[in-house]
């Protein structure tokens, strides 16, 4: 009797099952690596945005005559001839500078996936807490403490 060439149905099903498992694992690994890249990009954006915002906020507060919270997400820094408003939005902080009632400049600081809390524990002290989302590489809270009008 001649031996038949080809693959049996059982062999084909086994190969398809193994291929499906390998494809499923590959998709899961690819998805996880993409999530890791997004998390790393958000972490870098948070680091960069926090550093830029801290530098500007400290400079503004050093030159300030007073600071007040209009609401829990709006800090107004009053200077001699101008005022600066910081507004905390969902994923960023916007800084607007006004001089004599006219908008002079606006800029934003990207702070993805973190919660920002601004408090005035004393009349001449501003405290800002940035708490990253738990998915971030570090859940460490960043704190900015700056006195108003002090160099």
- State phi, psi for 32 to the nearest 5 degrees: -65, -40
CA nearest neighbour of 106 among 41, 56, 143: 56
Residue 46 pLDDT > 90, yes or no?
Answer: no
pLDDT for res 1 = 61
pTM greater than 0.85 (yes/no): no
pLDDT of residue 135: 66
Please compute, for residue 127, the number of CA atoms within 13 A of its CA located in the half-sphere on the CB side.
9
| Distant-in-sequence, close-in-space partners of 148: CB < 8 Å, separation ≥ 6 | 61, 64, 65, 66, 67, 77, 123, 124, 125, 126
């Amino acid at each position: 009797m001649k031996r038949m060439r080809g693959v049996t149905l059982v062999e084909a099903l086994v190969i398809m099952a193994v291929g499906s498992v390998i494809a499923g694992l590959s998709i899961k690994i690819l998805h996880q690596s993409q999530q890791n890249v997004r998390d790393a990009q958000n972490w870098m954006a948070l680091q960069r945005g926090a550093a830029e915002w801290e530098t500007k906020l400290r400079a503004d507060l050093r030159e300030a005559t007073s600071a007040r919270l209009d609401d829990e997400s709006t800090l107004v820094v009053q200077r001699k001839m101008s005022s600066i408003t910081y507004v905390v939005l969902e994923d960023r902080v916007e800084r607007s500078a006004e001089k004599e009632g006219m908008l002079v400049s606006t800029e934003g600081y990207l702070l993805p996936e973190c919660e920002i809390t601004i408090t005035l524990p004393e009349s001449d002290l501003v405290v800002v807490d940035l708490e990253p989302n738990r998915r971030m590489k570090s859940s460490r809270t960043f704190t900015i403490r700056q006195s108003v009008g002090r160099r």
